[in-house]
Amino acid sequence: MATQLATKQGYRITPEEWETRVDLALFYRVVAHFGWTDLIYTHISARVPGRDDHFLINPYGLMFEEVTASNLIVLDMQGNVVAGDYPANRAGFSIHSEVLKARPDVRFVAHTHTRAGVAISCMKSGLMMLTQQAMVFLNRLAYHDWDTQTGNEAECRKLAMDLGSKPAIILRNHGLLTVGPNAGEAFVFLYNLETACQFQLDAMQAGGEIIHPSHESVVQTAAGLYTGKEPIGAREWAAMRRMIDREDTSYRN
């Protein structure tokens, strides 16, 4: 385990931070595995344990499959690089800092620009309750209307306000964003939201008449999803770790 980053500040990594770094690096590899990347853009962040006013994010310029636990950078809430050898994406800082400031319960934030997610974000209807994956988001999904480029801090504060206490938000004409108290929960909401968007587009493109489940069946289905005592995403995240470990364990370095 790395215990100190090679920075002028002599920044030291606690065991708790290292565990968070490994989870965050794994999250980047999972997103890359599913093809949800946008070149070197988009970002996933994690609050630094014991330093709630600092967060980890990807080095600007690296592909997601190049992200490792040790090359993640640390930013403070003013956008300063506290530790790490790479610059930060300004839009990434603005989005993630505002969401983390607004949501002290959140430790992981994931933002994507996928084909399906962006396509649904451009539709006036937004996400329709057509599938079980979509029904996960009954009363759990917010929307944020495009105002200006998301490197703008005022815009990102409004984004955080629109998110409110929900775990997911569709950024109109832009993409998707999910949050969680741990990597597994943020991931499983991202997976369901992305999959629901893909299924909706597939159904619309097939050309047949779309069947809309009754409101009663949507409510009943949603009531039974992610309501147990087990932490949301725990089993799925363990499965993702096993999957990536079979492919490439370099994210742990």
Task: Give pLDDT tens digits for 92-122.
Answer: 999 999 999 999 999 999 999 999 999 999 9
60 domain residue, yes or no:
yes
Mean pLDDT, the chain, as a whole number? Answer: 93
**The whole model's pTM is what?**
0.94
Distance CA 204, CA 148 (A): 29
Residue 155: the pLDDT is 87
User: Is 206 domain-assigned?
Assistant: yes
pLDDT digits (tens, 9 = 90+) for 49-104: 999 999 999 999 999 999 999 999 999 999 999 999 899 999 999 999 999 999 99
pLDDT for 151 equals 65
Ramachandran sector of residue 164 (left: φ over 0; alpha: ψ -120 to 50; beta: rest): left
Residue 252 inside a domain? The answer is no
pLDDT band at 1 (very low <50, low <70, confident <90, very high): very low
Residue 52 within any structural domain of the chain: yes
Residues 6+ away with beta carbon under 8 Å from 67: 25, 28, 29, 58, 59, 251
Is 1 part of any domain? no
Task: Write out the residue range of the structural domain in which residue 132 sits.
Answer: 15-246
CA distance 111 to 136: 18
In this prediction, residue 227 has a pLDDT band, given cuts at 50, 70 and 90, of confident
